[in-house]
Amino acid sequence: MSSKKIRVLVAKPGLDGHDRGVKVVARGLRDAGMEVIYTGLHQTAQQVAETALQEDVDVVGLSILSGAHMTLVPRIKELLSKSGMDDVLLLVGGIIPEGDREELLARGHADQVFTPGDTLEKITDYIFQSFKESRDS
Q: Which residues in this chain contact other proteins in the complex, by CB under 8 A?
A: 1-5, 7, 26-27, 29-40, 43, 46-47, 50-51, 53-56, 83-85
DSSP string, 99-128: HHHHHHHHTTS-SEEE-TT--HHHHHHHHH
Residue 133 CB, nearest approach to other proteins (Å) = 20
Query: What span, in angstroms and rounded, lies between the C-alpha atoms of 29 and 57?
Result: 14
Pick between residue 43 and residue 112 the one whose CB is nearest to other proteins.
43
What single letter denotes the amino acid at residue 91?
L
Residue 7 CB, nearest approach to other proteins (Å) = 8
Pick between residue 7 and residue 18 the one whose CB is nearest to other proteins.
7
N-terminal to C-terminal alpha carbon distance within the chain: 22
Residue 106 CB, nearest approach to other proteins (Å) = 29
